[in-house]
Chain A
Amino acid sequence: MNTGHVISGAGHIGLIGWLFFGANFAPTPEPFQVNEVAMISGAEFEAMLAGTTPPEAVTDMVLPVPPETPPPPQPAPAVSPPPAAVPAPAPSPVPSPEQPPVPPAAQPMPPSDVQDAPPQIAPPPQEQAVLAPDISDRPSPRPAPRVAPEPVATPEPDTKVDDIVQEAATPAPSPDPAQQKQEATAPEAATTEIVTEAAEKPSAAPVSSVRPRARPNRPEATETTEAVAQPQPQAEAPAPDTTRDAVQDALQQAMADAAATADAAQPAYSGPPISAGERDALRVAVQKCWNVGSLSTDALRTTVVVSVSMTEDGKPVVPSIRMRSFSGGSQASAQQAFDSARRAIIRCGTRGYDLPAEKYALWQEIEMTFNPEKMRIK
């Protein structure tokens, strides 16, 4: 406390002292640089003015002319081949309806008429360049008819649509007669969001931006709340936070590792949980077939909870698929949403979902919540 006062007092005294006496300690001023000024007589001044005025007069008089006078010699040779006269200043097509009459008339016309053309022609190409895509009455092509969580490039024309990417292969002539011909397959082309015409650039070039992905390995709130709540009582801000993401990543990794360790330690089933990775694999498999493109705007506001029984080979039992509950919409919209969810479960489950057979008891019954909030028209 006293130290602070002492320092403050000393500083203030020093400042006041410098204000009063500082001038006495000022360094000696640097020497002036003196420029000599010559005196001239009135006659010399007149002569000087007379020498400077003509150039000004010349600039006033000539300046407008030079920009216009130089062009004539340039267009002049262009006038001789009339069709080349207009393309020279404006490379883009369609100068304007008024321009075509000028080139034929340009031959008898003096070059001065041609002089007016360049400045007039110059601006339109810019406008035309901007508006060129609108002239076509063909709508700009959409980037891809399919919108999916992850973008997929357009496959080769002969490629068969499939979830698995594989190259085409033909059986070798002699070594392995058992090898069969294999078709090239690739996922269907997809973009990540609907791109309206208004959102596209005027050049009509397809534009897409990646939809922010949900974090894939986020643990279920019901399972992690207890573990997280005790050591971290302070509520985190809902805003995105890289540190928080890092914590979540670490938690997920730790959970996955712990689950893997548990699996390794218990080869026979005795209650190992479904790991986050297995859970995510199932989620990704179902969402690939969850097509909400044909749902009404009301159905896109409806969340449905669907239960399904599974066979041991990972296939859904179709008659067991039921809507447990719904929220956010009417009964009719819930039915549309349920139909869509049911199609997704069945379609992607025809080959059986990739689930660990030893944990069948854990996924024999599955309850899936289909929440289309991220897929709504926005």
Chain B
Amino acid sequence: MQRLLSLLCCLALLALGAVPGQAQQQSGPLRIEITEGVIEPLPFALPSFVAETAGAQDLADQISRVVAADLVGTGLFREIPQTAFISSLTSFASPVQFADWRAINAQALIAGAVALGSGGRLTVKFRLYDVFAGQEMGDGLQFDGTQEGWRRMAHKVADVVYSRITGEGPYFDSRVVFVAETGTKGERKKRLAIMDYDGFGASYLTDSATIVLAPRFSPTGDRVLYTSYETGFPRIYLLDVANVGRRELPIPAGEMAFSPRFSPDARTVVFSLTQGGNTDIWRMDLNGANPQRLTNAPSIETAPSFSPDGSQIVFESDRSGTQQLYIMPATGGEARRISFGQGRYGSPVWSPRGDLIAFTKQSKGRFHIGVMRLDGSEERLLTASFLDESPSWAPNGRVIMFTRETQGAGGMASLYSVDISGRNLKRVRTETGASDPAWSPLLP
């Protein structure tokens, strides 16, 4: 009743005097608030880069295609086909006719040029334009390198464009180490392999004589820790990517050592060690000095991963009776549980940004890749399939690569990537079966 009365009062007031009041109040600019927008790929135009020297046209075309593929592959951009272009860029220095690009709704324009110098030196330069604002976004950039490194230069260009438009950190100029799998499920051969983030330029790091598992890049990207059954039992090895040299880490005595990961300063390594049937998390210097047991429980503790600042470690444990995620200080100590949802949580990985933890979740017969905050809140499942596991973060913390294995005797593992929004789930190109991806930091 009271409410009805107040409503009537309001209506009466409005009818009598509110309108003049409003007119008087609107003395400044008209103010509106936009709270809803659209989420769609941003259309961009990328005319083939101009070849400034003879013989550079093929490279210019290839570099343009790689740049476009990088951007489109994020799911955040859409390339406008060249057949729709109204005007063309014949010279890197020629002025841009923005009206022509606006007419085809290009919101960003990438203009570039390629020159092939003496001694096979390659120069790639580009400019990025905001078409509707009619101005350049940042300054033009130029990269110099060898002709063989043209793909990396293309990735560099795409990285800059991506960062300038989105504000995210770059990640195209990075590599992925993974386990290449061949053969049938019963007789599967596994080898360590490395490739560009987009699946190109793959090469093997080990032979297929022994089973290898779970490679992990060092923070500098030049070394890889992995687990191998070379001695018949799982042991941890350190591999130099440049010369493929490797050595076994001097782990304290135990039946099994596995699941290694570098600390952010690359000086220490954490891993799981099984002694007397009990598995705990250990930490030691890379040269084997100062081994320290971080957990001491009768349950299984494994899959440790450092926070970016090196102060904490997230790991999985079944100490509560079911597999869950915990965070403890990097020097050991009391752990706090962060996962409380239904199902089993495993293989946690701390985001390079430090704000999220990616994990594998098994629930109701299906596997998921998901992310959650450091306190376990805002859990978001990004994928669902017969078997999804082994998440690994892109250097910018925006994309996750993981293993997806199909069902049945003919099932094969392959690599997939997904944006942390859950969009843009796609398969990563590999020539063989692939599992256990580990994303490198951005290359220098």
Query: Among the listed B6, B37, B385, B386, which residue makes an inter-chain contact with A290, where contact means beta carbons less than 8 Å apart?
Result: B37
The answer to whether B23 and A286 have CB atoms under 8 Å apart is no
Q: Interface range on chain B: under 10, 10 to 19, 20 to 34, or 35 or more?
A: 35 or more
Q: Beta-carbon contacts of A278-313 to B below 8 Å, as 1s and 0s? A: 010011001111111111111100000001000000
Contact A223:B407 (CB < 8 A) given known A148-B38, A339-B137, A370-B34 = no
Give, as a whole number of angstroms, the nearest-CB distance from A160 to chain B: 12
User: For A283, what are the chain B residues with a Cβ–Cβ distance below 8 Å?
Assistant: 32-34
The answer to whether B382 and A294 have CB atoms under 8 Å apart is no
The answer to whether B167 and A223 have CB atoms under 8 Å apart is no
User: For B168, what are the chain A residues with a Cβ–Cβ distance below 8 Å?
Assistant: 296-297
Q: Beta-carbon contacts of B97-108 to A below 8 Å, as 1s and 0s? A: 000001001010
The answer to whether B19 and A259 have CB atoms under 8 Å apart is yes
The answer to whether A247 and B423 have CB atoms under 8 Å apart is no
Assembled-state Cα–Cα distance A165/B426 (Å): 33
Identify the closest chain A residue to B75 (Cβ): A145
Report if A174 contacts B (CB, 8 A).
no
**In chain A, residues 234-282, which have Cβ atoms closer than 8 Å to a Cβ of chain B?**
234, 243, 247, 250-251, 254-255, 258-259, 261-262, 271-274, 279, 282
Contact A367:B39 (CB < 8 A) given known A231-B6, A247-B3 = no
User: For B3, what are the chain A residues with a Cβ–Cβ distance below 8 Å?
Assistant: 243, 247
Q: Beta-carbon contacts of B380-411 to A below 8 Å, as 1s and 0s? A: 11111110000000000010000010111100
The answer to whether A290 and B26 have CB atoms under 8 Å apart is no
User: For B34, what are the chain A residues with a Cβ–Cβ distance below 8 Å?
Assistant: 283, 286-287, 290, 341, 344, 368-371
Give, as a whole number of angstroms, the nearest-CB distance from B379 to chain A: 10
The answer to whether B32 and A247 have CB atoms under 8 Å apart is no
Report if B36 contacts A (CB, 8 A).
yes
User: For B14, what are the chain A residues with a Cβ–Cβ distance below 8 Å?
Assistant: 227, 251, 254-255, 258
User: For A378, what are the chain B residues with a Cβ–Cβ distance below 8 Å?
Assistant: 378, 380
Contact A228:B167 (CB < 8 A) given known A196-B383, A247-B3 = no
The answer to whether B18 and A134 have CB atoms under 8 Å apart is no
The answer to whether B386 and A223 have CB atoms under 8 Å apart is no
User: For A282, what are the chain B residues with a Cβ–Cβ distance below 8 Å?
Assistant: 30, 32
User: For B372, what are the chain A residues with a Cβ–Cβ distance below 8 Å?
Assistant: none
Identify the closest chain B residue to A94 (Cβ): B408
Contact A202:B166 (CB < 8 A) given known A135-B407, A137-B404, A339-B130 = no
The answer to whether A254 and B40 have CB atoms under 8 Å apart is no
The answer to whether B25 and A198 have CB atoms under 8 Å apart is no
The answer to whether A258 and B18 have CB atoms under 8 Å apart is yes
Q: Beta-carbon contacts of A344-378 to B below 8 Å, as 1s and 0s? A: 10110010000000000011111111111111011
Q: Beta-carbon contacts of A317-357 to B below 8 Å, as 1s and 0s? A: 01001000000000011011001011110110010000000
Most chain A CB inside 10 Å of its own CB: which residue of B13, B33, B78, B426: B33
Report if A156 contacts B (CB, 8 A).
no
- A-B residue pairs in contact (CB < 8 Å), sample of 13: A142-B423, A149-B38, A194-B39, A197-B382, A223-B21, A247-B3, A294-B42, A335-B167, A343-B130, A362-B30, A367-B28, A371-B35, A373-B35
